[in-house]
Structures are given as C-alpha cells and as structure tokens.
Structure 1
C-alpha cells in the first residue's frame, strides 16, 4: 500500500476509535436509519457497517440478526469506502470481484448489494449504509437519492453521537468533583455534630440512661435518656421516693434493700426489674448502681438504666416458640426430621418414625440411605450436594419401610448454617396413596372401561414410541350382526358379548401384543412382532378358534411398511376385513 494510503487508513482508524462507537449496544436512531434504507430499497437486509483494521462490525442490523460482524477481507463495504459514491452490484455472481466471495457462495447468499459510504465532515470514510437482497436487482434513481441522503444522515448521526458522549463524560467528571466536594463538607459537618452529641446519642441509641444521687444535697439527677425511659420530659428531677415509686411493689422492696446494702458494704447492684412509666407503660429495665466515695466518706450513688423490654420479650417469645416447636414436632402429622451434612438422622418426629414402621429411638443415628433401595444411594448423594450448595431442596423421595413397603415422600428441606455444624431441617408429606391414585387414573385413561382393552389413546401412545422404521402388524376385527344382539336381547347382553370377545382375543395374543377396542363392535390387535409369518400365525389361530368366540366376526390384517402412518396401516387392515366379509356373505 502506498505511503499516503497508509496514512489515510491510519487517520481513518483513529477517527473511528475516537467515535467510541465500536461494540456499542443497539441504538434506536441507527436502527431506524437502517430500517428506512431497507424500506426505501425494498430489500430484506440493511446494515450500518463500520470497518475496523481486521473486521466489518454492524452498528445497525436489519435482516442478519445472528451475524454481528464479518472479516474485513470479505466485506463488500471494504470496496464501498474507496469512493464517495454509491457502490452498486446488481448481481454479485456475475461480478468478478465478488463471484467467489463466501458471502455470495454461502450464507447469506448475497446477489444484490448497494452501499453508500458513511463520510464524516472531514471527508474520512468509516463504513457504509448498505442494502442487500438475495435476488438480482438495480436501484431506481429515486432509491439512489434516498440511500445517499440516509448515508449522509448516518455520518452526521455518528458525529453527533460522539459529541454527546464527550459532553456526557465531561458532565460526569464535573458531577463527580462536585459530589466529592459536597461529601467532604458533609463529613466535616457530621464529624463536628457527632462529637457534640456523642454521649447523648450513644445513650439514646443504646437505650442507656444515667443517674446520680448526691447524698449531700439529697438531689437525684436523671440524664435525658433516663427521662425518656420514664416518659418524663428531659430535665425532670425526681425525688428518691418518686424514682423508686415507678417500680413494681416487689421491685421497690428489692431496690431499697440493695441500696442499703451498698450503703453499708459498698457492694453495687445489677438487676432486671419491672417498672411502670409515668404514662402507664409496663416495661422491664436493667438497673445498675454503685457507691460514690470521697476517701472513706459515702457521698452518693451513681448508676445506669436501660430499657430491656424488647430483649425480654424476644427471650420469652423464643422460649414460647421453642415450646411450641417441640409440641409441633411431637404431635405433627407431617414428617419432620433433621440430618447432618452426611445424611445421618439427628432427630425424627414420631409421625415420621411410625410411617416407616420404626420407634423413634430406632432411627436416630441411622444414615438416611438405610431407608432406601441401594440403587437410590447415588440420588441421595446428589440431593446432599444440592441442599448444601443451594441451601434448600424440594422434590420426591422414595423410602422403604421396615415391613418392606415402598412409600413416597414429598419434601422441602432447608440448610441451617447458624450453628457450629450445619444441619438440614426437613419436612415431608406421605403422598404414596396420592401417587397410586394418580397412576390408576392415568392407566384408566388409556383403557376401555367395559372390556379392559386399550383404547385409542393407548394406541396413539404406543405407536408414538415406535421408531419410524419399526415393523408391526395389526388385525382389524369387526363383530358380525352385533346390532341384532342389542336389539333382540338388550344392551346388557351386548356388553357381555363385548367382554367375552375381549377375553377371547386376549387369550390368543402374544406377550407383547395389545388388544384395543376402537369403539362399538370394532377391535384391533396390535402385534409387537409384526412380520408377515407371525401375522399369518395369529390369523390362523383366530380362524381355527372361531367356534369358541361368543359371536361371529370378520377380520383383516396388515403389516406396517415404509414408515406409513397408523391410520394408513389400520385402513389397509379394514379393507381386507371388508373383502373377507364380502367373500363369506357371497359364498353359497
């Protein structure tokens, strides 16, 4: 490349880098410009491309959502930026520049291309606004003018975007500096205010008040927080009798006794006592006191007071909760247990032990896998990994009771990490009967309620599971003159005949064969080994045992071939049935 071209390319890449647009997210303006280009040109694909040193990257992409960029050496737009005019390629297959291009010979199979270079105000060409089609075509003069205008608008939009990015960065830097100045001022003001209010604030936040009783003046002083605890205005100075009078009668006696003991022995006190405030609130306080001496002389008492009502309530609530949990644990009909991280049972409530046929003491210390089939042990290890990693787990667990019964528990277990050793708290319900009922209901939905044969749903499920190349046979069976039985002897007799016919067919089926009642007096035998010899063998047995059937019947058979549908195979069996019936009725 000539030196001047190298300089031009270096300038172009520098301008592209300065725009700070490469690998940016989708933006409505550029998407709209690309969509407008597609609409004007009537093409399924429109792109705003920017050419880096090694790649062509799409800022806007209409029609090639799965392709964010391509290599530059195969980019049509690399040719477009070599001029200021639109590059139009009516048919890329006929253009020697592009005929072997992988974007032409392969996906997205470009045939038509028209690209308007994106030119900045200083003449630098960064990429193109291009439209692409899969068929040969040419732009009209109006379309060319519109594409030129949209290309110029794209270049202006890129420059406007770059200026907006610079402005935003400048504003952000100014905002950061202003925020830092404001934070510094606030910190200084906060520190000053904090130093002035430290003692009062800590006492208030901690709920701790102070008091002092001067024996020389007989004056009792309360701090602001002590006044708040007693629901008294700040600055209130009570007498000793008033202060002691806030306590419950028994607490008053206790308090006077400890004061006298401290007076005589110098031993302080640390008590929790009930108190009723000036507004009538009943609270508990942590009361502390000690003597003040000047030499050997007792000159007063000093102490602290803290409202501990919430803590006492929490302790009482915890004790109540523990009692209730123990009651719930013992008497709950649900299954509650705890086990360690290895699955060793630490506790089991009576309901869970009874459900497995054990006494509670028998199961403590046992591994959970003791109650599982050996092949389930890997599943339990996977469960332990989930519950210890996620902190919880829910699902179904199959256990074996002491008497060999298999029970199914639906569980929701959570991991408790608060203690020294983590453990799992489990809660479960026995859904064995529910699962059994669901299975029965599911099975009943695939069977005819009168005869016990499979129904059409069973037939569809069975054939859906067969591979496309599977060979199977079917025998269509239709009862002759069944309507006459219903009309002559009634529907009850007709139902008996249907049941007997189903039994007749079941006895002549192989182990893997299925008897299906299609409805009314129509049955279908689906033969697992559906090759022609086996099909002929079953047909021969039915033909031989006709006299044992409760009613005369006609039948036809077909073997599935060439991956045909179930309906077509059955239809061919029906066709043979009708021919067989017609032959028998015409026989003299």
Structure 2
C-alpha cells in the first residue's frame, strides 16, 4: 500500500497543498529558520516540515538527517491526529515501535508532530520535532510549535502570490492556482505573517538577521535589536555587529562566516556576547548562505536566541557533576551505588580500601558477597524496606578481604527518577566505635571480679518482655569467716571459683549473675520445672566439688509472669532450706 493511500483525506489534502502552492517547495531560508526555531523551542535534536505530494511522497522543506528516509517519516505522520501528536518513547508505543525511524539507524525515541493547516481544511503536512532520547514537551513548548506551524502555513499561502510576481518558480499547473488576490490582501497577509513571526520570536526569545554580501548592510529584526539592548530599527555596521561578541568569540564567528561563503555550509554556534548596556549573555547564533541562480553568494541570513538561562543551567549541572565526582573520588566517607538486587554499580576508593579490595574487584558483585551467610537474609529485608520507603538507615556488617568483620553505619536512598533505578549509598566505617561500645556494654553488665553478669544485666532482663525462666538463688555458707580468717584475697578466690562451678552446670544461653557479696543467681532461659529441678539435682550431687558450702532456693517463672516475683519466691525457699539443714563448715 502506498503512503498516500494510507491517508483517508488524500484528495482534500492534495487540493490544500496545491492551493498553498507547496507541492514544488524546496528548502528555503524562511522554512529553514522556522524549523531551527522549532528545534530550539522544543530542545530536540531534529526538526522538519513534511508535506505530501500527489504521488504520496514526503517532501521535507528542511531536509532531515541523512538516515531518516521519507517513507518512514510519512508512516509516522499518517498516525497523527487532528491535534498535536506526542510520542514520549517510540520504542514502547505500539503505534510506531516497529517503524524504521525507531528500529533503524535513526534510533528516534521522542516524536512530536503539529498539523500544518490552511484555515479549517485538511492537513497539508506537519511540523515535526524528533530526538534520539525519550522525553515530553510542556504546554508552553506545544503552544510555540503551534505558532510556528501557523507561520509555516501562512508562508506557504503567500507562495502563489510570489509566483505570479516571478519570485518563485512555478511547479504546479495554472488551473490549480487559487484566484488572484488584490495587492491590499497580499500586504495584509504579509503583515499578519510578520506579526506572527514577531510573536513567535518573542516566545522563543529569538530574532532574525540578514547580511547583504554585496553592500555589507545588516538588517536586524526588532527582537534581535532587543536582545542587543538597542532600539528597534537599529542598523549596525558589520564591524559594530561583530563587536558585540566577546573577544574570544569573534574569531569563531568570523571563521564560520568565511567557511559558509566558501562551502555553502551553515553554522549553529553558542557564543558569549555583551549587549549595548553591558549585559553579559550567551546567544545561539544560526546562519546560512543564500545564493543567486548562478550560484553566486548573495546574502547570509539567520537567527539569534538568548540562551543565557539554559547555559547557566548547563554550567551549573556540569559544576554539580564535577563536585559530585570529586566528592565521590576523594571523600573519606564510604560511597557506592547498587541496583535493586544489591549488585554494586560503583564504589569509591575509600569504601574499597575499607575492606582491602580494589574498586575493580568490587564492582559488578552483589553486596552479599561481602557478608557472612547468616547475615544475608537481613540484607534481603533491607532491599524490601528500601523499595517500599525509598530510603533506609541502619548498621551493615560486612567482611573484609582478610576475613575481618567491619560495621558500616549507612543511610541509603533510592533514585527512581531514571530509566534504571539505583540506590545511592553513603556509610561510615564505625567498626572501632562499635567495638568500643560493645566493650563498654560488656563492662557495664558484667562483674569485674568473677566475670558473671551483674545487677545491671538483671535490671535489663526484668525491664524487657516477659519470658519463661528457671530461677535458682545461692547464698555461700560462712563466707564472712573466710574473709575474716584468710583475708579478702582468699575470699575473692572463693568467689571466682564459685562462679566457675555454677557456669559448669548450666547451658551457654543461661546466665550466672553475681547479685553482690556472696549472693549468686542462675537464670535458666525458657526452662520449666523439670529442667530447673534437673539442674538443682546436679548441683546437689556435686556439692563436694564446690569451693565452699552453699544454700540454694529454686522456682520457675512462666512466660508473662513477673520475674521479680519469681526471684522473691526463690529467696523465700532459700531461707527455708537454710533453716532446715545443717551448715557445712568452711
């Protein structure tokens, strides 16, 4: 099926094109300036005006890039609606995912088409902007493109009149030309077109210019004058026009002009400029060469656009990127990025040094490679929290190349504003601090003499959630006589030996606590009456191995009951046992 056959309004569209005198349109400075303005306004890399002739072939007033063929352009244009067509990412849009423009060498991702109309009649074509990166335009950019499309339509409408004055070669049959217009009507349309271009220039903050190569006379549009802070109608000399550019930019624009005259190539430059009032701005300077029919260069025409804000934004972004890279490279903090599965995408030198690796040895590996197996389930929970909350903070235990364990205190953030979300991680190696804090805690809950837990640890247990316990309290018999007879050094030896004796009769998860003086407590974690009584029986059977005689009282505390109440009951039973049995002499 031909490209033309795919358009249901083919007859009306072709009549519109003929009425506009557009079927023989060639690339011209006005249209070239319009599409350049469209590209600048939209921030897209490519712009073109596509019309359709009687054979269904597309004709680009401003030729696209060499790898964009006309049939592909027309296939996408055929899908345009009566309004603005915008495809943010053509690769995932079913209307054009398989179009050669998308899957071919052009690699187009973003596509916007604005219809070109004559009044309310059918489309004659479209003003299109394209880019190889995905994206969308805002409403202000849409409105600017609509204004430019109207300017294209008005420019096309004036072509038949220009033909009758032998200004443009005639390419369509005389019978297809519209009725003659009066000189007044032609002047009205010309002024309306100029007014539209002026409004468009204001929207884009852009103006036009022209240099007659025979006389060196320069003409500036009113908007160009405003950009230079000179009154509208100002006509500078060639030297004055060049003098507005900063000294470093003058050789650049001079070389571009000479090359254009020699080769016919245009230019599109971003240069610093100082206005008549001393304002420092950046401008986008665009120019092309126009020649006579015999190829003799006649004039240079082009446009200016104030891009100071865009330039500042780009420079600020570049400066920010440089600062981030320096921070990443030289920060003593540990910085990395990883994907949603925990695979490292980047690691700064400080993080690699912390674990004894090179950067290259870490990138591309999951963080779980640097964790002990029993810690990896906690990392999976971390990833889930991060994806749910967009950030997470805490402690991460990692293993260095030499097998030593390190503790990283991290605060990580998910960045999902890009196509491939990633996690930006920042951490501090708090291994030494963690060790010191652990040591201080150990000291705070342990008895310095016996190594048993102390009353502070007991207070933490009673303040925590109620659990099941087996409780056995001990009181050493005649311990005061040991101190009085043999001295406190001997008394300390007895206490240390008694602690060792008790630890030898309990499990690793149980706690031996020195309550103070010659009082001890054994807490059997999760023990019921049977297990508690078994420990009591073993202690009773091994009394002869104890360094000193002792009296004990035992009870059990069920989950949810008060541990303090259980200890009180164990004490009561201890006193009862003391009263009921003879004491062993020291």
TM-score range, shorter chain: 0.5 to 0.7
Q: How does 1:158-557 map to 2 (within 5 A)?
A: 199-213=197-211, 219-260=217-258, 262-263=260-261, 266-292=264-290, 295=293, 300-388=299-387, 390-417=389-416, 421-462=420-461, 470-477=469-476, 480-481=479-480, 494=488, 497-498=491-492, 500-509=494-503, 510-512=505-507, 514-526=511-523, 531-532=532-533, 534-535=535-536, 537-539=538-540, 541-542=542-543, 544=544, 548-549=547-548, 555-557=551-553
CA distance in 2, matches of 1:439, 1:209: 71
CA distance in 1, matches of 2:443, 2:267: 79
Indicate if the aligned counterparts of 1:276 and 1:283 stay in contact, CA closer than 8 A.
yes
Shift of 1:352: 2.1
Shift of 1:233: 4.1
Structure 2 residue aligned with 1:572: 572
**RMSD of equivalent CA atoms:** 4.3
Structure 1 gap ranges (5+): 1-190
Is the partner of 1:442 in helix, strand or coil? Answer: helix
CA distance in 1, matches of 2:538, 2:375: 44
Instruction: Name the count of aligned residue pairs.
Output: 384
Indicate if the aligned counterparts of 2:477 and 2:583 stay in contact, CA closer than 8 A.
no
Structure 2 residue aligned with 1:133: none
Distance 1:224 1:495, change over 3 A: farther
Shift of 1:521: 4.9
Relative CO higher for 1 or 2, CA cutoff 8 Å, sep ≥ 6?
A: 2
Is the partner of 1:403 in helix, strand or coil? Answer: coil
Greater Cα offset, 498-507 or 354-363: 498-507
Structure 2 residue aligned with 1:5: none
Indicate if the aligned counterparts of 1:530 and 1:559 stay in contact, CA closer than 8 A.
no
CA distance in 2, matches of 1:466, 1:342: 35
Given the two structures, how large is their TM-score scaled by the length of structure 1?
0.54
CA distance in 2, matches of 1:284, 1:478: 95
Shift of 1:303: 1.6
Is the partner of 1:249 in helix, strand or coil? Answer: coil
Distance 1:392 1:481, change over 3 A: closer
Indicate if the aligned counterparts of 2:334 and 2:351 stay in contact, CA closer than 8 A.
yes
Give a deviation string over 1:411-460, Cα, whole Å, max 9, x none.
33334456554433333222333333333333333223444332223234
CA distance in 2, matches of 1:464, 1:478: 31
Indicate if the aligned counterparts of 1:417 and 1:423 stay in contact, CA closer than 8 A.
yes
Given the two structures, how large is their TM-score scaled by the length of structure 2?
0.54
Q: Which has the larger radius of gyration?
A: 1
CA distance in 2, matches of 1:469, 1:253: 88
Shift of 1:572: 0.7
Structure 2 gap ranges (5+): 1-146, 152-191
Indicate if the aligned counterparts of 1:555 and 1:580 stay in contact, CA closer than 8 A.
no
